[in-house]
Structures are given as structure tokens and as C-alpha cells.
Amino acid sequence: MEKEIQNRIIKAVNEHKEELLLILEELVSFPTVSPPARNTGEIQNYIANFLEAHQFETDSWDVFPNDPNVVGIKRGSEGLHYHSLIINGHIDVAEVGDESAWTVPAFKLTNKDGYVFGRGTSDMKGAIAATLLAVKLLKELNIEIKGDLQIQSVIGEEAGEAGTLSCIERGYTADFALVVDGSDRQIHGQGGVITGWITIKSKEVFHDAMRMKMLHAGGLIKGASAIEKMMKIIEGLQELERHWAVTKQYPGFAPGTTTINPAVIEGGRHAAFVADECRLWITVHFYPNETYESVTTEIENHLNQVAMADPWLRENPLQYRWGGKSMIEERGEVFPALKMDAEHPAGLLLAACHEQIEKNPVQIGMSKSVTDAGWLGQAGIPTVIYGPGKLEEAHSVDEKLNIEELLLFTQTLLLFICQWCNTKK
């Protein structure tokens, strides 16, 4: 029986290849670039209508104005007794950059040489299109599912805007979650990322003419440049980063993956004043066995010790602001790490489905990037990343996706839905 369903799925997906590409063409035509964002209302309405046409109940709400999430649920016939599944993907895409560098239109799907080109094909509208076709084929093939199937089309991933977190806060959950972001059809967990602002602010403001009195012990003024003091803080961060490189490790990551990047520095008010404030924006990468709370605590403890060794910083303490729900609105973001359980029954089943379709064992590892998967894992939902598309294609000029890869992913996805949502609890 299982072999028969598998063969029907493979045949149906192959026969619907052109329809799959038409759905993807429609999705790519919506220029949902983030930033600037606030532009996903139309595409999310398209997705909601598609889901409703295939017997899904839908819910939509604005995370930001004209940036709504859409969640569709197809109720299983015996939902209380069979496993439920979330399929999660983001509908926003990266900036295009200089369009003159592209050899194909960014928002018109181009099919050539076995690939489809266009912004978002790999990251990650190809996976969304595959999900929508899988939904349609469930109905056309008269495949009953006994557990609930939930589709989450979320906003904001490209700009650190927590559309997936908003789904969790709204109460959406399941027995397992599949984030279909690009992983080259490998099963991935991920490390985490958090950004933060470190601020040095003087209690007093001095005219530039007072600088000569601050440079030596007999100057009689206890002042300092916040910009110059920030140099000590940057040195302290470099020391901590080197310490992490030799003391921290995690399977699937190269040594030294835990980095602290001083990305942006701002400070001073005018050339006629000694800089009384300086702000440093940092990006921190951490391992799946860490949390962003534990990592930021480590950084603060280390830098506070650095500051305690400086008489002026002792009296003008460092200020910290970590994370945020939007790089656009708050200039801050966080992506929790995902500590993947490769032995979870759903993960094992996904691996088996991949092997049945592709005739090769799936590769299991750690993503070199970050996705929304960490939010689902943090909420206690067993989660993995598995999707079509190579990382190097994301955000690239002439972004493309292999058509055969997209078909194989669609077949595996549909087979997994049929088997997991028909597995008794």
C-alpha cells in the first residue's frame, strides 16, 4: 500500500511539473523585498485563497502594516489521535541590488538550462510553491490525512522580523515542524545569531579645548573620549572571541564558528566636542547548545571586567541592548539556535522518505546560515530544516533553482505529509 502511494505521488508530481512552475512564477512576480518590507499583503492573500480552495481553514493577521502572516490548517479526520505537522516558510525575499548586474528579470521567472531564475526561487519561494502543489495534490489524489496539517507562510525572516515568533505567540503548535528553507535537501539544525548595541556614554560633555587637560594626570579634568574608550571594549571582544574559539565546539561546526563581529560604530556629536557617546553594533554567532541569553550574559560579564580595570569606565558604566523583533524598526534581531534531534521519529521518517524518493541516504548536518527554525524549537516543537536550494544561491545575482531538485523535494514533502500525519500518537 505504501509503495502504491509513493508511486502515485511521484507520478502526480511529475505530471504537474508545469503547474508547479506556474505557481512559482506567480509567487516570484510579487516583489516582496525586505527591506523595505511592508509589501506582502497581496502575495499572502494569494496564498490564503489557494489554501482555502483546498479545504484549509485560514487565519491572517498583520505582524506589521501590510505584512501579514497566513496560517492554514487542514483538520485531520482523527486529529486527537494522529500526529500533526507544521510546514513553515517565509515569503519575503532579499534585496535585488543593482538590477543591471542581472542577466534575467528579477521578478519574472525565467526557465532555461534546467533551472528557474528569479529573486526568491531558491530562498525560498520554490519551497512555498512545492508546499502549495503538495496541498493541491492531497485533494486531487484523494489522500486522507488523519492528523492536522498546518501551513505557515510568514513574513520578515530576511530582516530579522519574527513572523514565526508571532505564530507561536498566537498559539500555533504541532507535534513536529518542518522549516522548508534552503538546505540543498539535507536535514539541518542550526546555530543562533543575536545582534546587540554596546553604548558608552559620558556623564559630562566637554568642549574640544578641554582635551588637553584630559591627557595627563595633572590636567585636573577627569574626562575621556567615548570613542577612544570603545577601542578598549573592541579589544575585549576580540579576546573573548579568541577564547571561545579554543574552548567551545559543537559537532557539525568548524572551530571558531562562535564569532563576535563589531559591525557598526557610531559616536560623537561634533568636531568641536570631545565624544561623549559611542555605540557599537555587534553580531554574535553561537552554538546549538547555547542560548542567546547565556551568550549575552557571558559578553556582559567579560566586558564589565574590562571596564572595571579602567578608572573612567568604572564611573561611566557600559549600557547594553540585545536583540529585537526587527532590523528595520528596532535595528536589532535574534535567531535562536536549533538543537536538532536526528533520532526523533519524524526526523527518521523524513530521512526514510528522502531515501525512498531519491534512492540515496539523506545528509544530516548543521546549516551555515540561520532560519526561523530556532523559534519553533525554542517553543518546544521538534523541528528540522529541510528544503530545496543551495545556500550560495540565496541573495545572489541571477538567483536560480534546479527544476529536478524542486520536483524531488515536492515528492519527498508530499510523501512525508502522508506518512507523518497518518502516524498514530
Q: What is the dihedral of CA 230, 235, 329, 391, to 10 degrees?
A: 160
Q: What pLDDT, on the 0 to 100 scale, is given for residue 221?
A: 83
Q: Is 157 part of the annotated catalytic residue set?
A: yes
**How far apart are alpha carbons 171 and 194 in whole angstroms?**
24
Q: What pLDDT, on the 0 to 100 scale, is given for residue 162?
A: 87
Q: Name the amino acid, one letter, at 305.
A: Q
> Quick check: 215 pLDDT over 70?
no
Pick the CATH number of 2-190+338-420 from 1.10.1660.10, 3.40.190.10, 3.20.20.70, 3.40.630.10: 3.40.630.10
**How far apart are alpha carbons 359 and 356 in whole angstroms?**
6
Question: Do 372 and 163 touch, CB atoms closer than 8 A?
Answer: yes
Using pLDDT thresholds of 50, 70 and 90, give the confidence band for residue 156: very high
Question: Do 422 and 145 touch, CB atoms closer than 8 A?
Answer: yes
Q: Is 204 part of the annotated catalytic residue set?
A: no
Angle in degrees, CA 104, 109, 115, rounded to 5: 80
Which residue in the list 25, 92, 399, 405 is annotated as catalytic?
A: 92
Q: What pLDDT, on the 0 to 100 scale, is given for residue 79?
A: 87
Question: Do 187 and 342 touch, CB atoms closer than 8 A?
Answer: yes
Cell, residue 120: 526568491
**Dihedral sign from CA coordinates of 218, 224, 228, 234:** positive
Give residue 360's Cα distance to chain centre. Answer: 28
> Quick check: 15 pLDDT over 90?
yes
Q: What pLDDT, on the 0 to 100 scale, is given for residue 2?
A: 79
Q: What pLDDT, on the 0 to 100 scale, is given for residue 1?
A: 59
What φ, ψ does residue 117 adopt, rounded to 5°? -110, 150
> Residue ranges per domain, the chain?
2-190+338-420, 192-322
pLDDT digits (tens, 9 = 90+) for 109-151: 999 999 999 999 999 999 999 999 999 999 999 999 999 999 9
Pick the CATH number of 192-322 from 3.40.50.300, 3.30.70.360, 2.40.37.10, 1.10.10.10: 3.30.70.360
Cell, residue 171: 498559539
Question: Do 159 and 329 touch, CB atoms closer than 8 A?
Answer: no
Q: Tell the burial category of 384 from Cβ atoms under 10 Å away from its Cβ (0-12, 13-18, 19+).
A: buried
pLDDT digits (tens, 9 = 90+) for 341-394: 889 999 999 999 999 999 999 999 999 999 999 999 999 999 999 999 999 999
Residues 174-192, mean pLDDT to the nearest whole number = 98
Q: Pick from 308, 305, 283, 307: which is nearest to 200 by CA?
A: 307
Residues 271-277, mean pLDDT to the nearest whole number = 95
Angle between helices 41-52 and 17-28 (to 10 degrees): 150
Cell, residue 357: 524518493
**How far apart are alpha carbons 140 and 78 in whole angstroms?**
20
Q: Pick from 202, 197, 229, 211: which is nearest to 271 by CA?
A: 211
Which residue in the list 67, 123, 157, 175 is annotated as catalytic?
A: 157
> Quick check: 218 pLDDT over 70?
no
Residues 50-79, mean pLDDT to the nearest whole number = 97
**How far apart are alpha carbons 346 and 161 in whole angstroms?**
28
Query: For all residues of the chain together, what is the average pLDDT?
Result: 96
To which residue does cell 578608572 refer? 311
Cα 372 to Cα 52, 159, 334, 378, 384: the distances in Å are: 25, 11, 10, 10, 11
